[in-house]
Amino acid sequence: MFVLALVGGPLLFSLWLSLSDATAGARGASYVGLSNYRAALADPIFRQALANTFLVTVVSMALVLVLGKLLANYLVKDFRGKWILRALVLLPWAAPISLGVLGWKWIFDSLFSVINWTLGHAFGVVDTNDPPQWLGQPNLTLLAVTLVHAWRILPFAVVIFLAGLASIPSEVDDAAKIDGATGIRKLLYVTLPLQLPIALVALLFGIVFTAADFTVVYVLTQGGPFNSTQMLTTWAFQTGINSGSLGEGAAISLYLFPLLIVVSIGMLFFAKRAQVS
Lowest model confidence (mean pLDDT) among 63-67, 121-125, 200-204:
121-125
Q: Is 206 helix (H, G, I), strand (E, B) or coil?
A: helix
pLDDT at 174 over 90: no
Mean pLDDT rounded to a whole number for the chain:
83
Kindly indicate the confidence band of residue 55, based on its pLDDT and cuts at 50, 70 and 90.
very high
What would the pLDDT profile of 223-261 be if each residue is shown by its tens digit? 988 899 999 999 999 999 998 899 999 999 898 888 778
64-276 CATH choice from 1.10.3720.10, 2.60.120.560, 3.30.70.920, 3.40.50.2300: 1.10.3720.10
**pTM greater than 0.95:** no
In percent, how much of the chain has pLDDT > 90? 32
Q: Is 227 helix (H, G, I), strand (E, B) or coil?
A: coil
Closest to 206 measured CA to CA, from 168, 245, 253, 260 = 260
In the predicted model, what is the mean pLDDT of residues 122-136?
Answer: 80
- pLDDT value of position 277: 47
Q: How many CA atoms within 13 Å lie on the side-chain side of 122?
A: 6
User: Distance (Å, rounded) from C-alpha 117 to C-alpha 16?
Assistant: 51
What would the pLDDT profile of 96-114 be if each residue is shown by its tens digit? 888 899 999 999 988 888 8
pLDDT at 125 over 80: no
Q: Which residues lie closer than 8 Å to 29 by C-beta, 6 or more apart?
A: 17, 20, 21, 22, 23, 246, 247
Enumerate helices (H) and strands (E) in the chain, giving the number of each. 14, 0
Instruction: Give 30's DSSP letter.
Output: -
Residue 20, strand partner residues: 31
Tell which wins on pLDDT, 166 or 206.
Answer: 206
What would the pLDDT profile of 2-36 be if each residue is shown by its tens digit? 777 777 788 888 888 899 988 887 777 888 989 99
The rounded Cα 181 to chain-centroid distance in angstroms is: 35
In the predicted model, what is the mean pLDDT of residues 271-276?
Answer: 58
In the predicted model, what is the mean pLDDT of residues 120-135?
Answer: 79
Instruction: Give 242's DSSP letter.
Output: I
Q: Is 27 helix (H, G, I), strand (E, B) or coil?
A: coil
User: Distance (Å, rounded) from C-alpha 94 to C-alpha 100?
Assistant: 10
In the predicted model, what is the mean pLDDT of residues 53-62?
Answer: 93
Query: In the chain, what are the domain boundaries?
Result: 64-276
Is the separation of the CB atoms in 176 and 93 below 8 Å? no
Coarse DSSP helix, strand, coil percentages of the chain, rounded to the nearest 5 percent = 75, 0, 25
